[in-house]
Structure 1
Amino acid sequence: MTMHAIDPAITRETSARIAQDRATVIARNAASSCGIRAAAHNPQAASLASTTFDVQLKQGDVTNQKRSGRCWMFASLNTMRYRIIKKLGIKTFELSQAYPLFWDKYERANWFFENIIATANQDLAGREVSFLLADPLSDGGQWDMFRSLVKKYGVCPKEAMLETANSSNTRDLDKYLTRYLRACAKKLREAVTAGQTTEELQATKNEMLSDVYRALVICLGEPPASFDVRIRDEKGELKASGTYTPQEFFREYVDMDLDSYISIINAPTPDKPYYRSYTVKYLGNVAEDGGVRYVNLPIESLKRVAVAQMHDGLPVWFGSDVDQGFDSERGLLDPASIDVDALFGLPIEAGLNKGDRLQYGESLMTHAMTLQGVSLDAAGEPTSWRIENSWGDDHGHDGYDIGSAAWFDEYVYQVVVDKKYLTPEELTAFESDPIELAPWDPMGSLA
């Protein structure tokens, strides 16, 4: 194919037009002075965002994932601590986020080693092996992966396993363990080539896992096998006490049927027909529990089940592309809040619809949060959403964001709800044999 250079006349003509275009000059002055988002800020959108909702659940103090990619864990634990707060009648409570981080890294190392062994005969430069090596220890995850961790390891109060410098900022932990895992991958591939038996490979892998466990203890501390519990309300009354294992604590105080909660996605692309079940190759953490499963449904179904669960007094885990249409200073998620199309006079946001954005690499799920409230119009349709984030209470509205109806439609990709809210047709679709998506499919993105 012949490459064509830029015609200098195009540049000259465009520059001349800009000098005569008052709107472009004003936009240039604004954007270059204060930045694109500030220049494109639409104050009317912010003024229309109400902070009161028809359904509004009460939660404890806002949590803070700090400099880590644990939003999926924070969102999951926030749905679980809500049950504890409600059960005990206390003002606030927090579950340890360092505890599942430890076990996820450990389990994910094993998941990685198993997949490296399984693909050892594939070309090292092949797309699948390259994918496995790219980010084997990501902080991000999916609801199904968190469910697997809790089923195996339970949960514990934050006091039982506190944050460390490395859980609050996971960059170096991930960096150095990833480097070690890649060295292990080389050793495992060479062992397969050398003809090691399955038993020998497992012995080699187990030595590596022992090293990973030790490294995690150095960085995060050792997870408690049991712990003492003393929980008091704001009046000082003792509401819970005793010694528990993490599994016992989950059963008694969270009391949640994990297998009843399923993932519903909205991916309006031709390759993913609605009312079908999907999984993603190589996506998971706990080897014996398998990977992930979604059912793809129209966005109206996601809204319906989310509202229904909140009407019944329970929050909703959800995944979205959080940076799109995000006025972070005001805690507003609304495509109208940052009008870049008006600023540039170009169809930047209008140029692709939701399905197009997925297919052309413009959007995917980047962040998990918790729906804690909703406002409804006369017909019962959502008009705005109350969103609990995990970025601390100095963000947004004391730690909460407001999502518009348009933002939910365009940038929410997943909700997790009790399957009892699905119609028989939707549930049958979820329970059907899943279609396996490629590892790099946008619906394999990690929150």
Structure 2
Amino acid sequence: MSTTISPISPDFSAHHAEQFRADVVGKIVQNAVSAQGADAVSLDRDVINRLDDSTSERLDAWPVTNQKHSGRCWEFAGLNVLRARMIKELNVEDFAFSQNFVAFHDKLEKANHILVRAIETADQPLEDEDVRDVLQPIGDGGYWTQFLDLIKKYGIVPQWAMPDTESAGNTDQMNRALSTVLRRAIGSIRSTKNVDSTDVPDDVAAKQDEIRLATMADIWRILAIHLGTPPTEFSWQYRDKDKAFHTEGTMTPLEFAHKYVPANIYDYVALTHDPREEHPVGHRYVIDHTPFMEGGTPYTHVTAAIDDLKSTAIETIRSGEPVWFSCDVSQQFDRQSGIWDAQLHNYEALYGVGMSIAKADRLRLHESSATHAMALVGVDLVDGQPKRWRVENSWGDEVGTKGFFTMDDSWFEEYVFQVIVAPERLTEAQRQANTEEPIVLPHWDVF
């Protein structure tokens, strides 16, 4: 079957330029966007004016945190869920866990996972999709289950025991160094197959593991230089709101986690709204090539209707607990005012072209994906139905309402994908689905 080549003619642009010069409205829009940017011009002021930040249910009475220029949102959101419990249990004005401590061990585990996969794919050509995936730069992102695995293995510490460094909030230089060292090691691992044709498989495996261990020592050193040295123990004491002083003596990070992280949180379930027909509601899925921690827990979720995500989130908030959730953060969003609404920007009117894509097709076409994790800390209920949601972000207190954001329920419908909830809040069908053998999602799927 022959393919017809359809190049753009030389006068295509000139023809459309002539038409555009006659478009009075188009010229005005061009001037506005040139001066202010598309997002500022496309904002619907009626939407902004009707979205106040009050909610009938609200948990927060603490300041927000700041992940700065890093992709650690999932860690911040997880620690913010635990933080709310900690503030209540200790009867203190505020408390913060060390996000840096979690990030250090996350990078360590990711590096080891990459090297293990490099060994597993050493015989595959460089053009293979799995090999290309292994060669990707090491990143900051992660999942709820990954967060739990790290706490279970390494524990947690108060923020002052391992505060953020400059690199913790600006990870590019550190990630670049880590990626270079890992790619160098991957090249060495792949070359072991060709060094000596007389090598038996056990000898090759031993050489590869020797490279892995030596590289992991280098990785640890780079992490320590950028993020600091993780504490192995610390002195734990605090003063509560009633001015009573408490001292618990010296604790290790694991002892601290065992004391303050509730055991049932490790059983929490990811409910995911995936409207694609090929991924029907009521089934369990697992992401291929997870966990990112060798020996950890594969990253699974149960598909559910969007109303189920809302109802379980409402129940959780009303019980006094924030809700970890993931979403496509930059869609229909104004950062400075801290507002999300499905109709916040009228891009079709701005450009004069069709741009609407249904949620399921946005996922299929990779127009939308879970790009950010935060915590739901409030909801405004009218006759039992959610109208808007209060969100604890981790972008500092200079945006939104001192760092807290307002999400219209229409935005929840379109751009929220996952909530983490206690198993007792699931329906019987969802609990049953969570026991099923999971369906494998390829690592390149949007979830």
TM-score, normalisation: structure 1: 0.94
After TM superposition, list the pairs within 5 Å mapping 1:253-332 onto structure 2: 253-332=260-339
Correspondence 1:28-43 to 2 at 5 A: 28-43=30-45
Indicate yes or no: 2:440 matched with 1:436: yes
Q: Is the partner of 1:317 in helix, strand or coil?
A: strand
Offset at residue 197 of structure 1 (A)? 4.5
Opposite residue 396 of structure 2, the aligned amino acid is: G
What CA distance in whole angstroms lies between the structure 1 residues aligned with 2:405 and 2:60? 15
| Structure 1 segment 14-53 matched on structure 2, within 5 A | 14-53=16-55
Structure 2 partner of 1:205: 212
Structure 1 position 257, deviation (Å): 2.1
Match of 1:368 in 2: 373
Q: Is the Cα contact below 8 Å between 2:155 and 2:254 reproduced in 1?
A: yes
Distance 1:8 1:185 in 2: 47
Residue 361 of structure 2 corresponds to residue 356 of structure 1? yes
Between stretches 306-315 and 261-270, larger displacement belongs to 261-270
- Residues 233-254 of structure 1, C-alpha deviation per residue, up to 9 Å, x if partnerless? 3564324532211111122223
Question: Superposed, which structure 2 residues align to 1:154-193 within 5 Å?
Answer: 154-193=155-194
Which amino acid in 1 is paired with 2:409? A
Distance 1:375 1:294 in 2: 27
> Structure 2 matches for 1:40-439, cutoff 5 A?
40-135=42-137, 137-193=138-194, 195=201, 196-233=203-240, 236-348=243-355, 350=356, 352-378=357-383, 380-439=384-443
Query: Structure 1 pair 256/46, CA: closer, same or farther in 2 (3 Å)?
Result: farther
Instruction: Kindly provide the amino acid, as one letter, of the partner of residue 376 in structure 1.
Output: L
Task: Identify unmatched segments of 5+ residues in structure 1.
Answer: none
Contact 1:61 1:93 (C-alpha < 8 Å) held by counterparts: no
Query: Aligned residue for 2:198?
Result: none
> Structure 2: 5+ residue runs without aligned partners?
196-200
Contact 1:72 1:367 in 2 (8 A): yes
Q: Give the partner amino acid of 2:264.
A: D
Secondary structure at the aligned position of 1:134 is classed as coil
Out of 29-38 and 238-247, give the one that drifted further: 238-247
Q: Matched residues in 1 for 2:401 and 2:247: separation?
A: 31
Q: CA deviation at 1:92?
A: 0.8
Corresponding letter in the other structure for 2:168: S
Q: Distance in 1 between matches of 2:17 and 2:69?
A: 43
Structure 1 pair 50/239, CA: closer, same or farther in 2 (3 Å)? farther
Report the CA distance shift for 1:8/1:121 in structure 2 as closer, same or farther (over 3 A): closer
Residues 215-263 of structure 1: per-residue CA shift (max 9 Å, x gap):
2122222211111112223564324532211111122223342322121
Distance in 2, Cα, partners of 1:368 & 1:193: 44
Matched to 2:182, the amino acid is L
1:273 Cα deviation after fit = 1.8
State whether residues 128 and 439 of structure 1, in contact with CA within 8 Å, keep that contact through their aligned partners in structure 2.
no
**Secondary structure in structure 2 of the residue aligned to 1:285:** coil
CA distance in 1, matches of 2:11, 2:252: 74
Question: 2:209 and 2:130 mapped to 1: Cα distance?
Answer: 22
1:353-406 CA deviation, whole Å, 9 max, x = no partner? Answer: 10111111211011111100001221x221101000001011111001111111
User: Structure 1 residues 9 and 200, CA, compared in 2 at 3 Å: closer, same or farther?
Assistant: closer
SS at match of 1:442: coil
CA distance in 2, matches of 1:290, 1:259: 10
Structure 2 CA distance for aligned equivalents of residues 157 and 207 of structure 1: 31
Bigger drift between 2-11 and 361-370 goes to: 2-11
Q: Secondary structure at the match of 1:346?
A: coil
Q: Detail structure 1 runs of 4+ shifted over 6 Å in the superposition.
A: none
Shift of 1:289: 1.3
2:218 counterpart SS class: helix
CA distance in structure 1 between the aligned counterparts of 2:104 and 2:344, rounded to whole angstroms: 38
Distance 1:240 1:369, change over 3 A: farther
> Aligned partners of 1:122 and 1:354: how far apart in 2?
36
How many angstroms apart in 2 are the aligned matches of 1:191 and 1:15? 59
CA distance in 1, matches of 2:147, 2:170: 20
- Conserved 8 A contact 1:325-1:338: yes
How many residue pairs align between the two structures? 439
What do you get for the CA RMSD once the two structures are aligned?
A: 1.8
1:117–1:188 CA contact under 8 A, matched in 2? yes
- Superposed displacement of residue 24, structure 1: 2.4
- Contact kept in structure 2, 1:59 and 1:82, CA below 8 Å: no
TM-score of the aligned structures, taking structure 2 as reference length: 0.94
Secondary structure (helix, strand or coil) at the match of 1:288 reads: coil
> In 1, Cα distance between the equivalents of 2:242 and 2:334?
39
- Shift of residue 28 of structure 1? 2.1
Deviation at 1:202, TM superposition (A): 2.6
Q: Secondary structure at the match of 2:135?
A: helix
Q: Which amino acid is 1:247 matched to?
A: L
Quick check: 1:365–1:413 contact (8 Å CA) kept in 2? yes
Read off the aligned partner of 1:389 and give its amino acid letter: N
Amino acid at match of 1:315: P
SS at match of 2:295: helix
